[in-house]
């Protein structure tokens, strides 16, 4: 399963991308994450349903210094990535 997501709130400048990579690796997920010009964090993540659900729950909290207001989460056509990267 492959998910495209956006996270809104105070999510840039608070190590959100690095923490997202750490969580994705913890859950054995692949994909990427990046900052967007409008202040959100965007990513694509691939993996099994149960780990993706745990990852989604984590995104709703984010790292300690973040303040997540909204997570947009959409299933997209399957993709394959080698690991999880910060772009």
Catalytic residue among 35, 40, 57, 67: 35
Catalytic residue among 10, 17, 40, 57: 17
Q: Which stretches of the chain are DSSP H helices?
A: 16-26, 49-59
Q: Could you give the angle at which helices 49-59 and 16-26 cross, rounded to 10 degrees? A: 160
Would residue 40 show up in a list of annotated catalytic residues for this protein? Answer: no
Would residue 57 show up in a list of annotated catalytic residues for this protein? Answer: no
> What is the token pair recorded at 67?
């303040």
3-class DSSP state for residue 61? coil
**Cβ–Cβ under 8 Å, residues 21 and 53:** no
Give the residue numbers marked as catalytic.
Answer: 17, 35
């Amino acid at each position: 399963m492959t998910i495209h997501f956006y996270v809104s709130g105070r999510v840039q400048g608070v190590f959100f991308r690095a923490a997202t990579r750490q969580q994705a690796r913890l859950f054995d997920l692949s994909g990427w994450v990046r900052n967007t010009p409008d202040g959100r964090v965007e990513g694509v993540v691939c993996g099994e349903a149960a780990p993706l659900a745990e990852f989604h729950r984590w995104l709703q909290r984010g790292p300690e210094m973040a303040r997540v207001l909204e997570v947009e989460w959409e299933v997209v056509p399957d993709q394959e990535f080698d690991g999880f990267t910060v772009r």
